Structure 1
């Protein structure tokens, strides 16, 4: 592959809290319209968190416990199916490439066991049989359908995508927590650069707004439970009162191809992937490294690979979770890389759509695509008083101007980290 021949996003399919199309997402980002909604999927009366970033479809149609006749199917697979159908409607890579030259890398959360089904099973067989292996296994085999158990495998989303695009090339299923889908984009891009594939299906799938997961997040203090702030207002990156993120879910899928191949078939170029960096600093199970080491390494690696002047960056789409530690350390590292007085405008769209965990990076790349197309930097919602310890220029009102290069960050629990340099394809 020619060194000048970049990898670009040529199609997308999305099921997100801000909508399904680039038009919807762009409109909502420009106007500060939130996708954080009151949770209808399950009873939240015993939780402090009653709001989440949810696609309207998922909030209305996925239920815990499940309705009579509703299939026992994880939300991840429902969202993946919706996204891949939209993706194929835009561009089916099989029209251009053979199956063995099409690959797939998906960032995903491990699908969760339905606690309602588990409770039903336990009640059915009784406590005594649960302790006896020779009785427990036959009862479980009879109660659970094979398809139910198969759907709990992390590769189940790949199977859904494969049903619509039967690829047979380089394939990976990446469980990388909050950095999963941005790391997936990095892997897929590299597969094309290395000649392992001509086209890659890539993105993130996440459906972790569930009773079980919400209980875990509240227990470790990761989500905002500020009783003085209601609903969407709790998600406030860089604000002095930030206290945790807002959980969210959805699925975003892309097609990656060589830029020359897209141009040859007169296809759409949404975004150029110019540089990628990944790192790990496993110092703490939840908190970032005390010196932001993983953040610094992945940003430096992405910027170095992109080989673009620091002054050419239009803005930074930060991980910006609205947690005390992430926002502080991320902005400190940005100052160290760009210089205290030279950091580009910094924004975090999680303030409008919440934290999609494994889908977070892909969601935010989709937002950058909207910025490239429509020429704007989205404001950080709910920013009432910027934390004085955060010195970088945080975007308080939507700014309109041509956008060229953007640094995108995604950092995961346990010290996983990824950064990607994105470029407007209109830049020569």
Structure 2
């Protein structure tokens, strides 16, 4: 039952911008995801490695999209700026409808400009210290995506980067919600970005035994919840959402995609990479997000699960979802299509969740055929997209280090 115990500003998502392996704009990414078409394929950047495939962003021409300034940006910043431009245009913000001193940017990254570090490290090793680009540090540091968005769009409110590993994008949404509720901003651009499909990062994840090694079938390698899952597929991309108070959006004739109703966050404090096997703190994050949204589990019609395709992580999440929702909620994982975008994934999946609410359509979990014995009591949408009206939904993100972040979205 919905509860209304106190008054506070309502927040609406009025703009979406996506750069993903499923498509380099929102509607193409959404179409591919609803069709359940996996993006994983052989990646020339990874040739000769133990895992030579990824979910990469294709058909993205940085200079064509961003101009010559793209040359001064690492790839994670290019993705973020492109997504932010799309999100702001989608929100109908042309003509300076906002006071730029009241617009914030909270866009995080899990790893940052890793491609720049690797490229410049190779220059120093193979050539000389003088071959290192003087802009290496300002291109690669994690905060630069957020501040470059602010510079590109002329925004002067607070801007900063979150970094909670694979929960980064969702953490950014929660902090943006706090900024709006506290009255510190009128609008916030929030999300995450990542461009860490590099030889070193891929090899490091492979050495950790976190990645699928299904070299004979890359498109079938990302298998959330499936009985034959063997690890995640590394991906890249960005997602930026425009958030503003509902009354302000409606005053300028914008209904938006969905409302951001609640946020919950906890820390496992258990292990560097493995989740708490009982999922206690992840479950608490969901419960706190529901409390913040003033909703009960029975109000939720969809969970966009974190489910990456790892044996342990998916099993833990399935069990905690059964405990919270009792099998009475549709569950999907869009990572079967996109792979795991690390710091960008929470923002992209929140955007997909908002689109599910808008369209009454839940994307299928690509490559899911049958659950293993450790996946039970969960209604996993698979095969085809499911048409159903969703009034409220949950999007989960769980990251290395035990970071748990959850958002609740509702119909606009």
Does structure 1 residue 118 correspond to structure 2 residue 125? no
* In structure 1, distance between residues paired with 2:268 and 2:396: 15
- Select the residue among 223, 226, 237 that pairs with 1:236: 223
Deviation at 1:72? 7.0
Tell me the residue number matched to 1:290: 277
Distance (whole Å) between structure 2 residues aligned to residue 408 and residue 88 of structure 1:
22
Deviations 1:165-190 (A, max 9, x none): 22222322111110000010000011
Q: Distance in 2 between matches of 1:5 and 1:376?
A: 28
Q: CA deviation at 1:94?
A: 7.6
d(CA) in 1 for partners of 2:361 and 2:170?
22
**Once the two structures are superposed, what CA deviation does each residue of 1:137-159 show, in whole Å capped at 9, x if it has no partner?**
xxx4x433332321122121123
**Please, what TM-score do these two structures have when normalized by structure 1?**
0.87
Over aligned residue pairs, what C-alpha RMSD do you find? 2.1
Q: State the distance in 2 between where 1:85 and 1:30 align.
A: 24
Q: Does structure 1 conserve the Cα–Cα contact (< 8 Å) formed by 2:72 and 2:139? A: no
Does the residue aligned with 1:86 lie in a helix, a strand or coil? helix
Deviation for aligned residue 1:71: 4.3
Q: What residue number does 2:295 align with?
A: 308
* 2: CA distance, partners of 1:152 / 1:17: 22
Specify the alignment match of 2:98 in structure 1.
97
2:22 equivalent to 1:18: yes
Structure-1 residue corresponding to 2:182 = 194
* Structure 1 partner of 2:346: 361
- In 2, distance between residues paired with 1:171 and 1:315? 31
Structure 1 residue runs of 5 or longer lacking an equivalent are: 63-69, 126-139
Is the Cα–Cα contact under 8 Å of residues 72 and 148 in structure 1 kept in the other structure? no
Question: Secondary structure of the residue that 1:56 maps to in structure 2?
Answer: coil
Radius of gyration: which is bigger?
1
The residue that corresponds to 1:136 in the other structure is none
Q: Which residue of 2 aligns with 1:333?
A: 320
Superposed displacement of residue 388, structure 1: 2.1
Per-residue deviation, 1:411: 0.3
Correspondence for 1:28: 32
Quote the Cα distance in structure 2 between the aligned partners of 1:61 and 1:307: 42
Tell me the number of residue pairs that the alignment of Structure 1 and Structure 2 aligns: 396
Give the match for residue 67 of structure 2.
Answer: none
Cα deviation for residue 57 of structure 1 reads 2.9
Equivalent position to 1:350, from 331, 335, 339: 335
Could you say which residue in structure 1 is the equivalent of 2:286?
299
The answer for unaligned runs of 5 or more in structure 2 is: 1-5, 64-69
CA contact 2:191–2:240 (8 Å) conserved in 1? yes
Verify the 8 A CA contact 1:262 1:268 in the aligned structure 2.
Answer: yes
Tell me if the contact between 2:112 and 2:195 (Cα under 8 Å) persists in the aligned partners: no
Match of 2:268?
A: 281
Tell whether the 8 Å contact from 1:11 to 1:268 is kept in structure 2 after alignment: no
The question of whether the paired residues in 1 share the 8 Å contact of 2:108 and 2:142 is answered with no
What residue in structure 2 maps to residue 167 of structure 1?
Answer: 155
- Choose the corresponding residue for 2:12, options 3, 8, 11: 8
Quote how far apart the aligned CAs of 1:35 are.
2.4
Deviation per CA, 1:349-397: give whole Å up to 9, x if none.
Answer: 0001110100001111121122122211111111122112211111123
Shift of the alpha carbon at 1:407? 1.0
**Structure 2 counterparts to residues 202-241 of structure 1, below 5 A:** 202-227=190-215, 229-241=216-228
